Amino acid sequence: MDVKSRNYLLMNRQALEKDIKTSYIMDRMISDEVLTLQEEEKVKQQNTQKERAAMLINIILTKDNNSYRSFYNALLHEGYRDLAALLQDGIPAISSGNGRSSMDGMTSYVKTILCEGGVPQRPVVFVTRPKLVDAIKQKLCCLGSDPGWVTVYGMAGCGKTVLTAEALRDHQLLEDYFPGGVHWVSIGKQDKAGLLIKLQNLCSRLENDSTLSQRPPLNIEEAKDRLRLLMLRKYPRSLLILDDIWDSWVLKAFDNQCQVLITSRDRSVTDAVAGNKYEVHVESGLAHEKGLEILSLFVNMKISELPEQANCLVRECKGSPLVISLIGALLRDFPSRWEYYLKQLQNKQFKRIRKSSSYDYEALDEAMSISVEQLNDNYKDYYKDLSILPKDVKVPTKVLCILWDMETEEVEDILQEFVNKSLLFCDRNGKSFHYYLHDLQLDFLTEKNRNQLQELHKNIVNQYKKYYKLNTPVPSQEDCMYWYNFLAYHMAGANMQKELHDLMFSLDWIKAKTELVGPAHLIHEYVEYSSILDQKNGTVRENFQEFLSLNGHLLGRQPFPDIIQLGLCQPETSEVYQQAKLHAQRETGAFYLEWINKKSLKNLYRLVVRPHRDAVYHACFSKDRQRIASCGADKTLQVFKAESGERLVEISAHDDEILCCAFSADGEFVATCSADKKVKIWNSRTGQCRCVYEEHSEQVNCCQFSNRSGQYLLATCSNDTFIKVKYSYNLMSQWKEEAFVQTWMSQEIHLLSEADTLEQLWDLNKKYCRNTMMGHVNSVNHCRFSPNDEYVASCSTDGTVKLWEARSANELKSIEIKDFFRNADDQPDDVEVLVKCCSWSGNGDMILVVAKNKLLLFDVKTCNLLTQVIVSHHSTIQYCDFCPGDELVAVALSHCSVELWNIKSLSKVAYCRGHMSWVHCVAFSPDGSLFLTSSDDQTIRIWETKKVCQSSDAVLKSELDVVFHNGEVMILAIYNQKHLQFINGNADSVNMQTAAQESTISCCCLSEDLKFAAFGQESGTIKVLRLLDGKVLKSREAYRTSVQRCRFTSDCQTLISSAHDSVIQVWNWQLSECVFLRGHKEAIKDFRLLENSKLLSWSFDGTVKVWNITTGSTEKDFACHGGAVLSCAVSPDGSKFSSTSADKTAKIWSFESSSVLHELKGHEACVRCCTFSPNNKLLATGDDKGEIRIWDILTGALLHFCSPVTVDEGEPTHGGWVTDLSFSPDSKMLVSSGGYLKWWNVTTGESLQTFYTNGTNLKSIHVSPNFKVYVTVDNLGILYVLQKL
């Protein structure tokens, strides 16, 4: 240190030791890198303030000139201006050399310029924001040598000052553009006297050691002239920085043709001055990781060592650098107050966040309120109205026009004033403007106006009602989405119980809102505002919430379903049903249906969501049960709320189908794996991709995180036969994708060359492969950690399950699952045994394995088989999961259902029907109270375990017969495969049920007089029974294959049947005589009776035949199609019949001439069904693409199509095949079955109504003669008896 500088320190030592507090002075010196942390600790160890100051001065005396400058600058900026003045003349002079600092690359020239110019030092904790720093530099360069202004603007605490100072730490910038130096002046909120003092101080500083030195200027004008001369003569090409400008009149004092950079909250502050102008907008938020980094630096801890409150604190700070720094500084002094400061932020207690830095304001609320106080009184009231705006929402101008009852231009002028002062942000969206507040500003306003919030909410609701009266916004209006999303929020905030009740329990509102935004937000509102909605009667809210939860997947599709019709399917006690019925009765000419047998149906699921546009392959709960992650064939990852289905994150995650996803134990991350061979890790809250792994050479089938928080183990398995376990204690700080992907890839190539069947353990901290393992010899389908994370189980197509030690990757056990599949000779089955998945018991002692249709439970220690269960003979198991209680096991089956089994008693506890296609995944929530299922039908269903376990297992087959008799609907149905039920559809009651048969029943029929019933079995047996008591009257072993069709003649004495062969049997069951109709070359598709003992049959051989059932002879033979004949219909006058085929055509034939009258072409898929209109003029045909065509019988001309205007992308127009058709008696309406039921206007081809069944694949529709009652069964075995209202 120079002798002169040293002498000034010694000379003023007594004054310095008496007054200074060392804490923040040392912070600045550490940031300048002239003081070490060890030296800081040495100072802190002193007992008194004076002793600490003395120790600091002793340390400085041992250092160089930079220490002196740093100490001087710290005094200046920590408020010790008088003490700094004592040291000013001792500041050592340094030439503008290019010597570099060894630490930060900043030259001694830059340090000198900044120190002499009064530029603030870096904060104690500094995290760079390079994009913004570069933007400021770029604008400074734009000034060139011309006078002008650069405005760095943003809201309070966004880091304007720090970023500006950082931009000046650039040797090239200062040397090339500002060789005259930089001069920093902190302005703040000033009156004229205060501004004069600032100008006098600046002039005095610039005149230091100058012959121009003279008395201070006496007024602002004189000071302005003095400053102009100094800048022109002594400091040409220098930069003047005016920090924290509030008022435009202040700038006029500095408007003297020089180059000026200002920081301000007011963007428009330079409007009052002339010259070139440039702007840099400082965004208000830091990334979450940056926030954690700042906290870790303040408290001197690694990010991985931060307590769990750290993440919450950063989120509550809303990304504000100021708030995070204030909290960090406080925690440095009070390291045990993490929970305390988190609560203060959560409770908006900003006054408790007191000054703990060099920031100008005493508390956080003061920093934000100072801007508001500068507004005039009228504007303050308008700004107060913004207190009730929802967070993270951009509000269209029209909303505020309605609130303030003003024209658009007036409102925009007011809001621009707020925008200019960084009190509000504006987003230009096309021609309109949208405005929003930073979260901290909104928190501040909310807290400040807490006692007035209810009135403010009430005001906006009343203004809405005044503007819209009894109408609702339409989508073309810019404010439409705001009101649909937040009107209920404002009503709840105003505690307007009646208005909220009327709104939320209105089917009109529900219809309008769900059409625009889907059902999830409404479900969320029912949960959020339940305390208000339930004040009179909580049942009503539960009715509406359940209605949306169970029908939301339908309300999100196109064409949008009729919400009144959906409401009519609710229980009759439901308020939704009662409202829907009133609506239906009021609408004249509308077509609505009453589901008259719905009482017996109980919904077992809590929520149905449709987050994907294609099959959902996997879904899982977060550990807190609040969120669900899902993935599938649409290549997206979705994260949504488990309570409402409200989407939180949507990511286009991979280039191919995503096969699996998994939450980390702490819920912060989600892993995905895909057919694109990649594994990716995502931040579950922001959707940011954290890592990409590309080690696998084929599709990756499964990914699973370890079960314990605090470490991150990720296991993945693939068709390449490898299992990989990736390991890191600190995902947040260690998983940086770009740093190590290439390293891993090069290691992979080396390792994979050594053997064909390897498994690998990866260390993510050290970024290399820790182990190479040999194991499975075929695709690995699934892997799971044991509950204690010590082991990994893997399942493979090679027929084995292997257990591995997670850390060492050593193989511990291998179980040959194929040994448990043997043929009739007790020899190993030759068929490949694909082991699908496995699940550990809660204590880790047992492991459940799934292969084919079996559940196998093994003891982990001995590998002995404890028990096995054959779940189904008709479908394979796709997935399984152990309930945390270790007794229940859920299995997903390929035939659309899920079963719960008690693994101890080996009994099936429940049968869960609801999905319309294959179920790929089933997973329990961590507490076992819920489980979810995902399916090819694009839905995820959340079930209540207890509710499901208490349900009955009743399923009807789709084959049934119906007789409409004297106003009653009598139904014969196959119940649980081996029983017959005779059901009164009107009363929803079972009149008769048979005992279980020895073989599965495959078809059934009723006699017209309702005295007899017949059924065929898979064994080939046919039986006739009396309906009165269910007694079997006759039985006949008719076929060697399953009976497919049976039908009584009109005299009820003869039963006609067909099976999986080419022969029709005509059995007079009363006389025990049988006639065989032989002639078809392939299996019979179906038949129907004609008049005069004639029978029409059609076959897979492409022919149609007319038989005499008395003699058994063929009377007519039609070679109709090149492909299978799928259906036939007879015209009402009996002169014609139609045939449809797999060859995509339909034909109309003449019985008399045995010739084809018309060949109907145009269908693009198999034509599955046809029917004639009662007026004998029209023919309707339906195909497997969901298309219905109406033809003119006379000419064979196509009249029109029956199909919806719009459908969801990739979805057939009828939800699948059109399987059956029926005209109304007047030939003006048509009903069709397929994926659901639809009614059509025959004249126009327009859809009149759609009835969405719970399941799909409706094989037929039985229609009453008056076209008012309709009966069908879906693939879930649910019976629908529908009556036209």
- Res. 66: pLDDT tops 90: no
Residue 383: burial class (beta carbons within 10 Å; 0-12, 13-18, 19+):
buried
**Structure-model confidence comparison of residues 1002 and 755, the more confident one:** 1002
User: Do the beta carbons of residue 132 and residue 140 sit within 8 Å?
Assistant: no
Find the distance separating the first CA and the last CA of the chain, reported in whole Å: 99
What is the overall mean pLDDT for the chain? 85
- Res. 344: pLDDT tops 50: yes
- Pairing type for strands 1229-1233 and 1220-1223 reads antiparallel
- Looking at residue 390, the DSSP 8-state letter turns out to be P
1233-1251 pLDDT, tens per residue? 998 999 999 998 899 999 9
Span of 1026-1035, 1248-1257, 1258-1267 with lowest mean pLDDT:
1248-1257
Provide the β-strand partners of residue 1003: 1016
Residue 24 CB contacts under 8 Å (≥ 6 apart), including other chains: 74, 78, 124, 357, 358
Query: Confidence band (pLDDT; 50, 70, 90) for 143?
Result: confident
In whole angstroms, what is the distance from residue 124 CA to residue 497 CA?
52
Q: What is the pLDDT of residue 29?
A: 81
- Res. 928: pLDDT tops 60: yes
- Joined together, the tokens standing for residue 762 give 């990866």
Place of tokens 């100051």: 53
- 246-260, 700-714, 840-854, 1142-1156, range with greatest mean pLDDT: 1142-1156
- Pairing type for strands 148-153 and 276-281 reads parallel
Q: What is the pLDDT of residue 40?
A: 85
What's phi and psi for 1203, nearest 5 deg? Answer: -160, 150
Span of 31-35, 830-834, 1105-1109 with lowest mean pLDDT:
830-834
Provide the β-strand partners of residue 627: 641
Query: Confidence band (pLDDT; 50, 70, 90) for 219?
Result: confident
- Res. 1277: pLDDT tops 60: yes
Give ∠ CA 66-72-75 in degrees, rounded to 5: 140
In whole angstroms, what is the distance from residue 948 CA to residue 883 CA?
13
In whole angstroms, what is the distance from residue 294 CA to residue 510 CA?
46
Which DSSP helix (H) or strand (E) runs through 1?
Answer: none
Q: What is the pLDDT of residue 351?
A: 55
In whole angstroms, what is the distance from residue 739 CA to residue 716 CA?
21
Q: Where are the alpha helices (DSSP H) in 595-712?
A: none
Rounded to an integer, the average pLDDT of 219-230 is 86
- Res. 765: pLDDT tops 60: no
How much of the chain exceeds pLDDT 90, in percent? 43
**Structure-model confidence comparison of residues 230 and 1157, the more confident one:** 1157
**Structure-model confidence comparison of residues 314 and 565, the more confident one:** 565
Q: Is the N-terminal amide bond of 179 cis, ω within 30° of 0?
A: no
- Res. 349: pLDDT tops 80: no
Quote the longest CA-to-CA distance of the chain. Answer: 138
- Res. 383: pLDDT tops 60: yes
Q: Is 754 left (phi over 0), alpha (psi -120 to 50) or beta?
A: alpha
In whole angstroms, what is the distance from residue 1081 CA to residue 1078 CA?
9
Provide the β-strand partners of residue 973: 960, 981
Rounded to an integer, the average pLDDT of 673-700 is 90
Query: Confidence band (pLDDT; 50, 70, 90) for 296?
Result: confident
* Full-model pTM: 0.72
- Res. 567: pLDDT tops 50: yes
In whole angstroms, what is the distance from residue 101 CA to residue 296 CA?
26
Query: Confidence band (pLDDT; 50, 70, 90) for 1206?
Result: very low
Q: What is the pLDDT of residue 253?
A: 86
- Res. 1078: pLDDT tops 50: yes
- Joined together, the tokens standing for residue 962 give 């119906």
Span of 318-332, 362-376, 949-963 with lowest mean pLDDT:
362-376
CA dist list (Å): 364 to 155, 327, 338, 1197: 13, 10, 17, 79
CA dist list (Å): 463 to 402, 469, 494, 1081, 1205: 6, 10, 13, 77, 38
User: Do the beta carbons of residue 855 and residue 869 sit within 8 Å?
Assistant: yes
* Chain length of the chain: 1285
In whole angstroms, what is the distance from residue 1138 CA to residue 1160 CA?
10
Give ∠ CA 1153-1157-1159 in degrees, rounded to 5: 140
Span of 111-120, 785-794, 939-948 with lowest mean pLDDT:
111-120
- Joined together, the tokens standing for residue 349 give 């207690």
Of 442, 375, 449, whose CA–CA distance to 415 is shortest? Answer: 375
How much of the chain exceeds pLDDT 70, in percent? 90
In whole angstroms, what is the distance from residue 712 CA to residue 764 CA?
9
Residue 125 CB contacts under 8 Å (≥ 6 apart), including other chains: 31, 294, 297, 298, 325, 328
Q: What is the pLDDT of residue 354?
A: 53
- Res. 1194: pLDDT tops 80: yes
- Joined together, the tokens standing for residue 224 give 């302005």
- Joined together, the tokens standing for residue 293 give 């980094």
Rounded to an integer, the average pLDDT of 854-858 is 91
Q: What is the pLDDT of residue 764?
A: 43
Which DSSP helix (H) or strand (E) runs through 331?
Answer: helix 321-333
DSSP sequence for 1052-1084? SSEEEEEESSSEEEEEETTTTEEEEEE--SS-E
**Structure-model confidence comparison of residues 417 and 1003, the more confident one:** 1003
Q: What is the pLDDT of residue 1126?
A: 96
Query: Confidence band (pLDDT; 50, 70, 90) for 366?
Result: low
- Res. 1191: pLDDT tops 80: yes
Query: Confidence band (pLDDT; 50, 70, 90) for 828?
Result: low
- Pairing type for strands 148-153 and 182-186 reads unpaired
Rounded to an integer, the average pLDDT of 1154-1163 is 94
Neighbours of 333 (CB within 10 A): 10
Q: What is the pLDDT of residue 772?
A: 52
Rounded to an integer, the average pLDDT of 712-718 is 87
In whole angstroms, what is the distance from residue 671 CA to residue 684 CA?
9
- Res. 276: pLDDT tops 70: yes
In whole angstroms, what is the distance from residue 110 CA to residue 119 CA?
11
In whole angstroms, what is the distance from residue 785 CA to residue 502 CA?
51
CA dist list (Å): 99 to 106, 259, 778: 9, 27, 64
Long-range contacts (CB closer than 8 Å, 24 or more residues apart) made by 262-265: 262/149, 262/150, 262/151, 262/152, 263/151, 263/152, 263/153, 263/160, 263/161, 263/164, 264/151, 264/152, 264/153, 264/160, 264/422, 265/153, 265/154, 265/155, 265/156, 265/371, 265/421, 265/422, 265/423
Q: In what order do the strands lie in the sheet with 689-693?
A: 658-663, 669-674, 679-683, 689-693
- Res. 306: pLDDT tops 90: no
> Three-class SS of residue 590?
coil
- Looking at residue 354, the DSSP 8-state letter turns out to be B
Residue 130 CB contacts under 8 Å (≥ 6 apart), including other chains: none
- Res. 193: pLDDT tops 60: yes
Span of 372-386, 418-432, 843-857, 966-980 with lowest mean pLDDT:
418-432
> Three-class SS of residue 363?
strand
Query: Confidence band (pLDDT; 50, 70, 90) for 713?
Result: confident
